[in-house]
Chain A
């Protein structure tokens, strides 16, 4: 205080009335005395961040009702529910799956007993690629990154003792999503649960596979046909099922910026809505069952802004571009997972803190469900202890921190609103470019989003190497570490056991029933009939994922990547 008196000997301090005024009165002098730290003030994606945000940053035309509105009302910037987490907390949904169906089933029971409120299934790579465990390319991969599912027999074990009318299940699978969903329906049949009671989400987002995750079978256009068949089937028979979880998560993990994640995800959404309409469905019939899936990365405010911008943009797209009239079609509901790619193998316990910050961003961004990563995921599959800490992180946020007490607590922050507007502008520019290319399928075929992501990830990696972006424990505050936490290992016996089970199923099923179901499926693919009832029949006959997927290859072809470096 004494120093202030010395620097203003003549005029008494007066309150500044504008930012320029503040610069002259206060800031310039402060900067001369103590300059700012010599770092770039940018988000993790590289967006420049100003020193201070005031009403001036929102611009003269900024209108509360147009930009934000009230929660539960268009354009849903502040949240899709009027009471948000005061009504019901977000769903805590930890992704799990490894090894055999028996082992994963035990993990499901463990998680449900410890307060988790929904299931989320991780499949192994062969299953994700629509290949059986005995396929030559599956060698070494069976049961490693998730649970191996070859036939309905595996799915029956996976959901043993879990009443499908009382849990909601999220299944992360894309290229063979329809087949796995048919298996889920077949398990429900065996439990005596009607399809109409099934609740959950199928990821089923093939477009982001071509963009980012790279698990595909067929080319984009026939893949979209399978998706619209599923949307049509679910409208009629499984009305509570979320047919696609349009996913930015993997786009971000592949190295995109936050704005690219937002843009490419919404552009994928536009492509699905367009495909549904072109397949003759009414937009208000299927759009309410579309949901989204975002990443929550390290840059706290950028992530919150991204999620708020996503809600506002989707609401406007659905209402104005597609003419949807049902407010449920306008609502962007989303799941969030914390950023796996942000976790470090170095000093792995630091990941608990990263996950906490990212989870908090997701909650303040208004997520409907959340997966928090386990701190040891940069080393291997998560151990039970690490999974429990990750779940507890959510419970502490929900029940101790007080952040769930009010709706959209950051709404009206000059910074958060300016950043929300900025992300919306960046994403809208991308969407316009993709529209001009003829939509997302054409853009993918031209390698456009793939190239943008490779550029962004390379740029970021250089910043990390140069040290202009800090990763604690990796390029700063590095230590020697002798000790590693215990990790979960999948033994060779998993693959052997799975191969034996598959062989047993092949021996005991009725080969004629399998053959005729697969023939009917192929005929439907050629004739243009809905594929889902035929897939369901093949699944009931214990045809394998690989057999069903391969049946369609002669009709649909296979996808070859546009390889972009």
Chain B
């Protein structure tokens, strides 16, 4: 573990949704936990998210969606990663996602979805347990 390089995470706001409180709090928590964080800013298309993730050599993409468009946006990002041959970039996220939708998103390849009330500590611990540096 000690020889591994720092994890590099992209924190992204995808789609038109401007609610960035959660994304920013999580990005700060990742930084304070010692991860390298790339924050995309707002209003990114799935294409832009994937492009940034590849350019920045991140280990995982963490997306925040509070607008209800998660069932389109998450699968679209995964699809684009497949098209670019970058399936080793993990995708997880959070937002207002009804429970019934979580299983479908996981089946589509999203590793984890955190819903309102998840603590920063829990999210950071999850990342430590589940995200590994990619072999670049």
From A131, A141, A561, name the one whose CB has the most chain B CB atoms within 10 angstroms. Answer: A141
**A344 and B116 in contact (CB under 8 A), knowing A138-B16, A253-B21?**
yes
Q: In chain A between 116 and 131, which residues have their CB closer than 8 angstroms to a CB of chain B?
A: 125-126, 128-129, 131
A403 within 8 A of B: no
A-side interface residues, number (CB < 8 Å): 46
Compute how far the CA of A214 lies from the CA of B42 in the bound complex, rounded to whole angstroms.
8
- The segment from A43-51, A67-75, A85-93, A458-466 found at the interface with B is A458-466
Contact of A141 among B27, B29, B67 (CB under 8 A): B67
A235 within 8 A of B: no
Question: From residue B122, how far is it (CB to closest CB) to chain A in Å?
Answer: 9
Compute how far the CA of A129 lies from the CA of B31 in the bound complex, rounded to whole angstroms.
30
Compute how far the CA of A129 lies from the CA of B67 in the bound complex, rounded to whole angstroms.
13
**A458 and B25 in contact (CB under 8 A), knowing A145-B67, A380-B96, A561-B41?**
yes
Question: Are A458 and B16 neighbours in the complex by a CB distance under 8 Å?
Answer: no
Question: Are A144 and B31 neighbours in the complex by a CB distance under 8 Å?
Answer: no
Question: Are B72 and A125 neighbours in the complex by a CB distance under 8 Å?
Answer: no
Question: From residue B10, how far is it (CB to closest CB) to chain A in Å?
Answer: 13
Question: Are A475 and B119 neighbours in the complex by a CB distance under 8 Å?
Answer: yes
Contact of B42 among A138, A346, A561, A565 (CB under 8 A): A561
Contact of B39 among A215, A341, A458, A565 (CB under 8 A): A565
B43 within 8 A of A: yes
Closest residue of chain A to B70 (Cβ to Cβ) is A140
Question: Are A129 and B116 neighbours in the complex by a CB distance under 8 Å?
Answer: no
Compute how far the CA of A145 lies from the CA of B96 in the bound complex, rounded to whole angstroms.
12
Compute how far the CA of A471 lies from the CA of B28 in the bound complex, rounded to whole angstroms.
21
Question: Are A141 and B18 neighbours in the complex by a CB distance under 8 Å?
Answer: no
> How many residue pairs at the A-B interface have CB separations less than 8 Å?
101
Question: Are B18 and A214 neighbours in the complex by a CB distance under 8 Å?
Answer: yes
Question: From residue B113, how far is it (CB to closest CB) to chain A in Å?
Answer: 12
Contact of B117 among A131, A213, A474 (CB under 8 A): A474
Does more than half of chain B's interface fall in helix, strand or loop, or is it mixed? Answer: loop
Question: From residue A460, how far is it (CB to closest CB) to chain B in Å?
Answer: 9
Contact of B67 among A125, A461, A561, A565 (CB under 8 A): A125
Compute how far the CA of A380 lies from the CA of B115 in the bound complex, rounded to whole angstroms.
12
Closest residue of chain B to A125 (Cβ to Cβ) is B16
Q: Please indicate the chain A residues that have their CB under 8 angstroms from the CB of B37 in the complex.
A: 565
**A379 and B16 in contact (CB under 8 A), knowing A458-B25, A561-B41?**
no
Binary CB contact string for chain B from 105 to 136 against chain A (1 if under 8 A, 0 otherwise): 00000000001110111000000000000000
Q: Please indicate the chain B residues that have their CB under 8 angstroms from the CB of A138 in the complex.
A: 16
Task: Please give me the 7 A-B residue pairs with the lowest Cβ-Cβ distance, nearest first.
Answer: A140-B72, A214-B18, A140-B69, A144-B68, A125-B16, A563-B41, A474-B117
Q: Please indicate the chain B residues that have their CB under 8 angstroms from the CB of A253 in the complex.
A: 21
Question: Are A137 and B31 neighbours in the complex by a CB distance under 8 Å?
Answer: no
Q: Please indicate the chain B residues that have their CB under 8 angstroms from the CB of A378 in the complex.
A: 96, 116
Question: Are A465 and B121 neighbours in the complex by a CB distance under 8 Å?
Answer: yes
Binary CB contact string for chain A from 452 to 494 against chain B (1 if under 8 A, 0 otherwise): 0010011001101100000100110000000010010110000
Question: Are A457 and B120 neighbours in the complex by a CB distance under 8 Å?
Answer: no
Contact of A379 among B24, B41, B98, B120 (CB under 8 A): B98
B93 within 8 A of A: no
A-B contacts, 24 listed (Cβ < 8 Å): A125-B15, A125-B16, A126-B16, A131-B16, A136-B45, A140-B73, A144-B67, A214-B18, A255-B21, A255-B25, A344-B116, A344-B117, A345-B96, A345-B115, A345-B116, A378-B96, A379-B96, A457-B21, A461-B25, A465-B120, A474-B117, A475-B119, A490-B68, A565-B24
A416 within 8 A of B: no
Contact of B98 among A380, A461, A471 (CB under 8 A): A380
Binary CB contact string for chain B from 6 to 48 against chain A (1 if under 8 A, 0 otherwise): 0000000001111111001101110100000101011101000
Question: Are B21 and A254 neighbours in the complex by a CB distance under 8 Å?
Answer: yes
Question: Are B21 and A125 neighbours in the complex by a CB distance under 8 Å?
Answer: no
A504 within 8 A of B: no
Question: From residue A483, how far is it (CB to closest CB) to chain B in Å?
Answer: 11
Closest residue of chain B to A129 (Cβ to Cβ) is B16
Question: Are A144 and B69 neighbours in the complex by a CB distance under 8 Å?
Answer: yes
Question: Are B120 and A461 neighbours in the complex by a CB distance under 8 Å?
Answer: yes
Binary CB contact string for chain A from 302 to 338 against chain B (1 if under 8 A, 0 otherwise): 0000000000000000000000000000000000000
Closest residue of chain B to A475 (Cβ to Cβ) is B119
Q: In chain B between 71 and 102, which residues have their CB closer than 8 angstroms to a CB of chain A?
A: 71-73, 76, 96, 98-99
Question: From residue A341, how far is it (CB to closest CB) to chain B in Å?
Answer: 8
Question: From residue A198, how far is it (CB to closest CB) to chain B in Å?
Answer: 29
Q: In chain A between 337 and 381, which residues have their CB closer than 8 angstroms to a CB of chain B?
A: 341, 344-346, 378-381
Q: Please indicate the chain B residues that have their CB under 8 angstroms from the CB of A344 in the complex.
A: 116-117
Q: Please indicate the chain A residues that have their CB under 8 angstroms from the CB of B120 in the complex.
A: 461-462, 465
Compute how far the CA of A128 lies from the CA of B76 in the bound complex, rounded to whole angstroms.
23
Binary CB contact string for chain A from 242 to 257 against chain B (1 if under 8 A, 0 otherwise): 0000000000011100
Q: Please indicate the chain B residues that have their CB under 8 angstroms from the CB of A474 in the complex.
A: 117
Contact of B24 among A131, A346, A454, A465 (CB under 8 A): A454
Q: Please indicate the chain B residues that have their CB under 8 angstroms from the CB of A484 in the complex.
A: 98-99
Closest residue of chain B to A455 (Cβ to Cβ) is B28
Closest residue of chain B to A478 (Cβ to Cβ) is B117
**A214-B42, A561-B41, A565-B24 given. 20 additional CB < 8 A pairs?**
A128-B16, A129-B16, A129-B43, A137-B16, A138-B16, A139-B76, A140-B69, A141-B15, A141-B16, A141-B17, A141-B67, A145-B68, A341-B21, A378-B96, A379-B96, A379-B98, A461-B120, A484-B98, A564-B24, A565-B27
